[in-house]
Structure 1
Amino acid sequence: MPVFTTRDSTEIYYKDWGNRNGPVVTFSHGWPLSSDNWDAQAFFFASQGYRVIAHDRRGHGRSAQPWEGNDMDTYADDLFELFEHLDLKDATMVGHSTGGGEVARFVGRHGTDRVKKAVLIGAVPPIMVQSESNPEGTPLSVFDSFRASILNDRSQFFLDVPSGPFFGFNRPNAKVSQGQIYSWWQQGMTVSVKGAYDCVKAFSETDFTEDLKKMNIPVLVLHGDDDQVVPIKASAEKSIKLLPQGTLKIYPGGPHALPNILPDEVNKDILEFIKA
């Protein structure tokens, strides 16, 4: 199992698929999942001759579960250390939800010397939590309820989220996949309780405004206009105004889980963006 050890002695699991000499595409997953949530994309791009790197964030999946460091700065630093470990260059970074924040913070902290393009899908930037300056955001009470549910009955909570808003299965005439629900639950149950709890603050309260302004590379923003988890008006529609070279594509009726529900379309859009 490929792992590397960070400077604070945390073991990070990663997949390294495809052509080792091909163009690099990295994938950063959402909360509370793992690199497995990118399987449809990882298989596709590895089959197309790309080198695919997908890691499990600290506290998640097969990575170690430290008590400390479950914050966006450390997530970004862990990923940068992986870039250094594998000497990745000219990478296209792809991030979904919390992973989109990770990509933005990576660039904000470490620049673009190793990155040529980025894709943000259903991503949390600029900032999720509601405030006077961000009235379109989600009330803090919602995230407090997440934390309470994690401590009270994480297993049931991790069934409720994918059964409803994450995949959009609570919408009329939705084609519900029990397999997707169980996969989400299975991945979620591998995250440490502390990692899951802390990451709620990381994805909801981190302000990525300055990070987005520093992303002086082409950035493709993909977002569904029926995203019930990261509403488009509070995220993509604001992010696109901050990105120096951003392009926004809206998926009509698209849910939060675009890479899972519309994998062929997402793969096609990313591929075209990389090749452009």
Structure 2
Amino acid sequence: MATIQTRDGTTLFYRDWGPRDARPIVFHHGWPLSGDDWDTQMLFFLDQGYRVIAHDRRGHGRSDQTDAGNDMDTYAQDVADLAAALDLSDAVHIGHSTGGGEVTRYAARAEVGRIARAVLIGAVPPVMVRTPTNPDGIPPEIFDGYRAAFAANRAQFFLDIASGPFFGFNRDGAVVSEGQVRNWWRQGMMGGAKAQYDCIRAFSETDFTEDLRKLTIPVLLLHGEDDQIVPIRNSAHKAVALLQDGTLKTYPGLSHAPFATHPERVNADLLDFIRV
């Protein structure tokens, strides 16, 4: 297993495939998953000649099951440690959901030359929860409910999310993939309960407004218009207006995970953006 030690001694697992002199693409997974969520994209871009990298966020997957540091500042610091350890430059960072927040915070603080482009898919920025400055956000009681369901029966909670709103399998006429449901559940149950519990606060309450404003690199936002987890009106529609060089592409009728349910469409859009 390939691992690095972060500056606070946490062990992070990662996969690093392809020529070391090829342009790197770094994939950042959503909650409560692992780098395995990007298998389809990693195989596709590896075949296109890129170097593809996906790490398991601290507390998730095969990385250390940390009881501390489960916040966006530390997640971004961990990515900086990974980029330094692998000596990445001119990289494209692609993040889904919570991973999109991680990419945003990392990109706003990254060393010059480390990151060239970013993609946010169904991503949480600028901020999910309802606050006085985000009055049309998601009510905090929703996330309290997440924590209560998680603490009561994590395994059932994960099954309910995967078989329902995450992939849009609760919609009339949806073609349900039992394999995707089981793989989502498998990834979630690999992680540490404390880290995943803390991460609910990290993805729902972190405000990325100033991070978005700082970015000068090109940023592509991809978002399903029927995203039930991170509603597009409270996320991508707001985020693109804060970016200096942002482009938004939406997918009518698609869910929170269009890269998983419709990889042929998303991979083509990613390739077009990366090749420019």
**Do the two structures share a fold, i.e. TM-score over 0.5?**
yes
Matched, 1:56 2:56: yes
Matched, 1:157 2:157: yes
Cα distance in 1 for partners of 2:99, 2:31 equals 8
**Any idea what the Cα deviations from partners look like across 1:9-51, whole Å, max 9, x if unmatched?**
1000000012221111000000000000000101100111100
**CA–CA distance in structure 2, aligned partners of residues 256 and 76 of structure 1:** 23
2:137: which partner in 1?
137
1:112 CA displacement: 4.6
Structure 1 counterpart SS, 2:73: helix
Q: Is 1:109 aligned to 2:124, yes or no?
A: no
CA distance in 1, matches of 2:214, 2:258: 26
Change (3 A) 1:234 1:112: farther
- SS of the aligned residue for 1:151 comes to helix
Count residues in correspondence.
276
> 2:226 is matched by which residue type in structure 1?
D
The residue identity in structure 1 corresponding to 2:118 is A
Task: Tell me the secondary structure at the aligned position of residue 135 of structure 1.
Answer: coil
- 2:212 maps to 1:182: no
2:6 aligned residue: 6
**Structure 1: unaligned runs, 5 residues or longer:** none
Q: Distance in 2 between matches of 1:158 and 1:138?
A: 20
**Following the alignment from structure 2 to structure 1, what is the Cα–Cα distance between the partners of residues 233 and 9?**
39
Q: Which position in structure 2 is the counterpart of 1:23? A: 23
Equivalent residue runs for 1:1-276 within 5 Å = 1-276=1-276
What residue identity is the alignment partner of 1:157? F
Distance, in Å, in 2 between the alignment partners of 1:258 and 1:55 is: 20
- Give % identity: 58
Q: What letter is aligned with 2:135?
A: P
**CA distance, structure 1, for counterparts of residue 46 and residue 94 of structure 2:** 14
**How far is the alpha carbon of 1:63 from its aligned partner?**
0.3
Question: Deviation at 1:110?
Answer: 2.5
Q: Tell me how far 1:223 sits from its aligned partner.
A: 0.4
The Cα offsets for residues 54-98 of structure 1, whole Å up to 9 and x where unpaired, read as 000000000001211000000000011000000000001000000
- Tell me, in whole angstroms, the C-alpha distance in 2 between the residues paired with 1:87 and 1:176: 41
Equivalent position amino acid for 1:57 in 2? R
Contact kept, 8 Å, 1:136 with 1:233, in 2: the verdict is no
**TM-score normalised by the chain length of structure 1:** 0.98
- Report SS of the residue matched to 2:256: coil
Q: CA deviation at 1:111?
A: 5.0
- Going from structure 1 to structure 2, the CA distance change for 1:114 and 1:253 (only over 3 Å counts) comes to same
CA–CA distance in structure 2, aligned partners of residues 66 and 96 of structure 1:
21
**1:133 counterpart SS class:** coil
SS in 1 for 2:239: helix
Q: Which sits farther off after the overlay, 144-153 or 118-127?
A: 144-153
1:94-151 Cα shifts (integer Å, max 9, x gaps): 0000000000000222355311100000000000001232122111111111111111
Output the TM-score relative to the length of structure 2. Answer: 0.98
Helix, strand or coil: the match of 1:181?
helix
Unaligned runs of 5+ in 2: none
**Conserved 8 A contact 1:259-1:266:** yes
List per-residue Cα deviations over 1:214-268 (Å, max 9, x = no partner): 1101100000110000000000000000010000001011100111011111111
2: CA distance between counterparts of 1:275 and 1:112?
Answer: 21
Q: Partner letter of residue 191 of structure 1?
A: G
Deviates more, 1:163-172 or 1:107-116: 107-116
CA distance in 1, matches of 2:254, 2:222: 10
Q: Distance in 1 between matches of 2:46 and 2:101?
A: 24
